[in-house]
Amino acid sequence: MGWCCLFLLFCFTWSFFILGTYPLQSSQTQVLQQLRKHLEHPKQLEIWNNRSIDFCYLSSFPQVNITCQDNFVTELRIVGDKTAKVSDFHGFAIPKQTLSENFSLDSFVATLARLTNLRVLSLVSLGIWGPLPDKIHRLSSLEYLDLSSNFLFGSVPPKISTMVKLQTLKLDDNFFNDTVPNWFDSLSNLTILSLRNNQLKGQFPSSILSITTLTDLIMSSNGMSGKLPHLSSLTSLHVLDLSANKLDSVLPKMPKGVVMVILSNNSFFGEIPQQYGQLSQLQHLDLSFNVLRGKPPYAVFSLPNISFLNIASNVLSGSLPDHLSCGSKLEFIDISNNKLMGGLPSCFSTNSDKRFVEVDGNCLSFNTRHQHVESYCMEVYMKKQSKGKNAGILVGLIIGVFILMLLLAYGFLILWRIYCPRGISEQHLLHKTVQDSSAAGFSSELLASARFVSEAAKFGTSSLPVCRSYTFEELKEATNNFDNSAFMGEGSYGKLYKGRLENGALVAIRCMPLSKKYSIRNLKLRLDLLAKLRHPHLVCLLGHCVDVGGRDDFSTNKIFLISEYLPSGNFCTHLAENSYGKVFNWSERLAILISIAKAVHFLHTGIIPGFFHNRLKTNNILLNEHGMAKLSNYGLSIISEETDKCGAKVEGYKSWQMKNLEDDVCCFGFILLEALVGPSVCARRDALLLNEIASINSLDGQKRIIDPIVQATCSQESLSIVLSIMSKCISLESCSRPSIEDVLWNLQYAAQIQGTVSGDHRFDTASPQ
């Protein structure tokens, strides 16, 4: 029998040796070596210098762990030594903390994607920096993803929602600064979600409530705000840490099986729910540094598994009963800095070495040297005693004030009808000069919530003239009675004329039909709102004229907008090789694109509510005599029937299914495309162009379609950045499009990269990433 067992043990050992000695495929080895090169040869991977090393037997090294199966890498874990030592990260390489400025996260992820069987990926403290690209979803077999303690910023890629096999997602200690994603319900197998210590903002994602497999939810030290919903649907949840955010609601219900709850350093208010006293599995509860009121539920202290309880630094009041019982496992209690009164329960005895109790900063009769002063405690006591009496007085006072206000309002209404005129002349409104140059001087009749952000309103207004109203006679004189020699063209927003004012200034005058859906009063207020838009890269609106005189067919029911005249043509004419003027090189095109992106960003964020549906086309990007770019025809949808949706009237865009898209970012993406390929190529409507655009990220595809002027004057890295953001802008999935702020950042970064390249650098000599 002994020989039989020995023989079986020998066979088992030998079979294990044979299975374990399968050599790793050469393609997998090449990928690992390329990853090492991308990571700039960290000392943790020096062992890889040995060409004879078997990568599948590195599990004994604590900082590098590789697991293989069937000749493929299935697990890759690397821990570096480049932990984040900065409180804020601005998106650029930091010497000795991040990888160098030559590092390309996009190329790195593309290389990782060649490990098609990878199930576990952990890359921690390696100095990886940049926005995490969408192509991370190509690692479709991943079950565990940990990219903690790096320098990742921007948004968490929406494409991660397609990685349905993910069970663990850790992106801790990075610099993600977009809104918290709300697509987590697609990850039906997720058990651990940790986004600790980032800069994520917005509401708590409701999609998390659908993940019944979730055991650990850690999103502490971010900027989440608003209401925290009930979490009782997360039946598998054990660990919840949402501390150090800006959540400001009542405390929600918790799952019955939760073990750890950390909600400190928020703005939770109201009382601690009695339901918390029924969480029999709870071991750790931290609700400190909130604004919780009322009495703490006594049952929380006696939970069978509770070991840590911190409700300090709230405004809890009342007294704790002497007979309060504490759980046998309770080792830490902190009720300090509240408004608790009375004596100390016997189970709080500090004589026990097994239990630490902190009670300072209350109104307790115990250890009075470390409690609030007597006058403060007496005030709290008196408030408690008189609370019932004061409630009745307060109700009576409110009712009396309400009745008095009704009487005053009724009297004011009577006086108004007697002494005030019934209406204001609409014609008087039309010819009233706009004297108010203050950005905050809005009439509440326009939009109840319309207001300028104060900092944005001051931006660029000091050197721009105040908008005023003009008479129709002044415009006739400026255009020689709208002579054909002054006519400049006609578009979807009416006819355009060139004029000269009495002071000699050249202006552009746009004649638009009067929308029937607005009253004259409402239209006047909308024009005033449009006149408040002031930015160095917006064509300045100098004035307006609303004429309903009916003196002739031309002037009946028309709106005239008077704006500054820019003599150097539009951006489109400077992109064509047969242009009458100078053809712009890559650096000049980037400068113009950045200027217009700043203008669009101002339209979106400089005023509330913002202007989101603007005419974004290269024909509407005008240049002044100094070459400065300015956006024209913006915001006209608020005074016109024409909405001019992005691509709604352009047949070529219909072939790209852009008909229903009206997103400024989408339209800006086509401006980027035209700047890259030229107006003649962009205007093509054939299917061949679609295939070329799909291959534009390859070097061969770029040589076929990119404008030769761009190829001759750009650096490959700068071009790649713009191509990437352009592709995202024109994505058919609106959720995949970036914000205009992201677009602006990428363009500025591309310009910075281009500025570091020598002037004689050529496209055809650049090597692909």
Token pair of 76 as six digits: 């890759």
Please name the helix (run of DSSP H) or strand (run of DSSP E) that holds residue 108, with its range, or none. helix 105-112
611: three-class secondary structure by DSSP = coil
Answer with the residue of higher pLDDT: 544 or 21: 544
Q: What is the 8-class DSSP label of residue 266?
A: S
Whole-angstrom distance, CA of residue 417 vs CA of residue 296 = 57
Binned at pLDDT 50, 70 and 90, residue 470 comes out as confident
* Least reliable range by pLDDT among 2-11, 48-57, 255-264, 305-314: 2-11
Section 207-233 average pLDDT: 93
Range among 199-208, 651-660, 723-732 rated most confident: 199-208
Section 517-546 average pLDDT: 82
458: pLDDT strictly greater than 50? no
pLDDT at 51: 63
Whole-angstrom distance, CA of residue 323 vs CA of residue 289 = 27
Binned at pLDDT 50, 70 and 90, residue 595 comes out as very high
Section 41-58 average pLDDT: 73
Answer with the residue of higher pLDDT: 24 or 667: 667
Binned at pLDDT 50, 70 and 90, residue 239 comes out as very high
Dihedral angle over CA of 414, 420, 422, 427, nearest 10? -160
Q: Give one word for 663, left, alpha or beta, with left for phi > 0 and alpha for psi -120 to 50.
A: beta
* Least reliable range by pLDDT among 16-25, 45-54, 239-248, 537-546: 16-25
Closest CA to 312 of 342, 365, 357: 357
Section 738-753 average pLDDT: 88
Range among 162-176, 504-518, 529-543, 648-662 rated most confident: 162-176
Answer with the residue of higher pLDDT: 719 or 2: 719
pLDDT at 464: 58
Whole-angstrom distance, CA of residue 205 vs CA of residue 258 = 19
Dihedral angle over CA of 300, 303, 308, 311, nearest 10? 0
147: pLDDT strictly greater than 60? yes
Please, how many CA atoms are within 13 Å of residue 712, restricted to the half-sphere of its CB? 6
Alpha helices in 328-453 (DSSP H): 374-385, 387-419, 426-430
Binned at pLDDT 50, 70 and 90, residue 172 comes out as very high
**What phi, psi does 250 have (nearest 5°)?**
-75, 155
Task: Report all structural domains of the chain as residue ranges with CATH numbers, in order of start.
Answer: 22-226 (3.80.10.10), 247-379 (3.80.10.10), 466-565 (3.30.200.20), 571-640+661-760 (1.10.510.10)
pLDDT at 734: 75
Section 270-295 average pLDDT: 93
11: pLDDT strictly greater than 70? no
**pLDDT averaged over every residue in the chain:** 79
Section 494-511 average pLDDT: 89
Binned at pLDDT 50, 70 and 90, residue 353 comes out as low
Beta strands 175-176; 216-218: pairing state? unpaired
Q: Are 672 and 729 in contact (CB under 8 A)?
A: yes
Answer with the residue of higher pLDDT: 441 or 200: 200
Q: Are 137 and 109 in contact (CB under 8 A)?
A: no
Whole-angstrom distance, CA of residue 65 vs CA of residue 73 = 11
Beta strands 621-623; 629-631: pairing state? antiparallel
Q: What is the 8-class DSSP label of residue 533?
A: -
Closest CA to 586 of 727, 681, 717: 717
Token pair of 764 as six digits: 């055809």
> Tens digit of pLDDT for each residue in 77-110?
999 888 766 777 878 888 888 998 889 898 899 9
CA end-to-end span of the chain, whole Å?
Answer: 64
1: pLDDT strictly greater than 60? no
Which residues are registered as beta bridge partners of 194? 170, 218
352: pLDDT strictly greater than 70? no
Token pair of 57 as six digits: 């037997």
Q: Are 223 and 200 in contact (CB under 8 A)?
A: yes
Binned at pLDDT 50, 70 and 90, residue 736 comes out as confident
Whole-angstrom distance, CA of residue 308 vs CA of residue 331 = 6
Whole-angstrom distance, CA of residue 240 vs CA of residue 261 = 5
Binned at pLDDT 50, 70 and 90, residue 756 comes out as confident
- Which residue type sits at 153? F
Binned at pLDDT 50, 70 and 90, residue 758 comes out as very low
Helix axes 664-677, 740-755, angle to 10 degrees: 30
590: pLDDT strictly greater than 90? yes
DSSP assignment of 672-720: HHHHHH-HHHHT--SHHHHHHHHTTTSHHHHHHHS-HHHHHH--HHHHH
Tokens 């838009």: give the residue: 533
pLDDT at 645: 43
pLDDT at 247: 94
Section 440-457 average pLDDT: 38
* Least reliable range by pLDDT among 19-23, 142-146, 202-206, 573-577: 19-23
List the beta strands (DSSP E) in 581-696: 607-608, 621-623, 629-631
Which residues are registered as beta bridge partners of 249? none
pLDDT cut 90: percent of the chain above it = 30
**Counting beta carbons within 10 angstroms of the beta carbon of residue 730, is it exposed (0 to 12), middle (13 to 18) or buried (19 or more)?**
buried
Section 384-400 average pLDDT: 67
Answer with the residue of higher pLDDT: 226 or 578: 226
DSSP assignment of 160-215: GGG-TT--EEE--SSEE-SBPP--GGG-TT--EEE--SS--EESPPGGGGG-TT--
**Counting beta carbons within 10 angstroms of the beta carbon of residue 609, is it exposed (0 to 12), middle (13 to 18) or buried (19 or more)?**
exposed
